[in-house]
Amino acid sequence: MSQKFTILFDLDGTLVDTAPDLIIAHNHVMKKFGFQTKEPNEIKALVGMGAKTMMGKTIWNSAKEELKKIKEKDIKSAMVKEFIKYYGDNILIKSKLIKGVKEFLVWCSKNKISMGVCTNKQEHLAVDLLKKIKINNFFEYVAGGNTFDFCKPDARHLTNVIEIMGGDIKKCIMIGDSEVDALSAQNASLPFILLEDGYTNIKTSQMKYDHLIKDFADLDKIIKKYL
């Protein structure tokens, strides 16, 4: 059923501050496989890109000598598998909702606004996190990085979800915290709300957005302009 308005949310760094648990999982894998662990400020920008990308960017460029002794494909696969297992078992230890998220979701629900999640996190992990942090019931659809044959910043990751939800692309907005989210919205020709201090090394001025917010408090005032 078509709703009067649709909001698509990124997950990591937008709805939930997942960096603490993702970094713990990352360093668990690094230590287990004999690589150097990383400080949070070194890898925070990578945690919203998915396990394979996160592990790849922190390891493959700094462990070339070690990798000469091992089949790269095998070690990558094993490390990603271990990361997903460990993180899945410890998905909500230190992660917490971004300020104002729950109140905003309640407001959207009361105003019959349709809501979906578009994340590059694996779908089963995204669904599990949303359930455990108790906001899953607000969302009509959750698309992970492995839901389709493509993921953000491909516009289809967003447009497919809008279509599945029965929404109108002309009555939709995207909320995210990184350049991947900004580019996704741009590719899909959607207005974009950028959350400051997200999981990115890119400066705010380097991203295209329509509105800039510090958290979800008073976000309803922006959304009302689109209704």
Q: Which residues are part of the catalytic machinery?
A: 10
Polymer length in residues for the chain: 227
Please, is 192 exposed, middle or buried when counting C-beta atoms within 10 Å of its C-beta (0-12, 13-18, 19+)? buried
Q: Can you say whether the dihedral through the CA atoms of 9, 168, 163, 191 is positive or negative?
A: negative
Q: Which helix (H) or strand (E) holds 192?
A: strand 192-195
Please, is 143 exposed, middle or buried when counting C-beta atoms within 10 Å of its C-beta (0-12, 13-18, 19+)? buried
- CA–CA dist 64, 5 (Å, integer): 49
- CA–CA dist 163, 134 (Å, integer): 25
The first and second tokens of residue 63, run together, are 């462990």
Q: How far is CA 16 from the centre of its chain?
A: 9
Q: How far is CA 83 from the centre of its chain?
A: 17
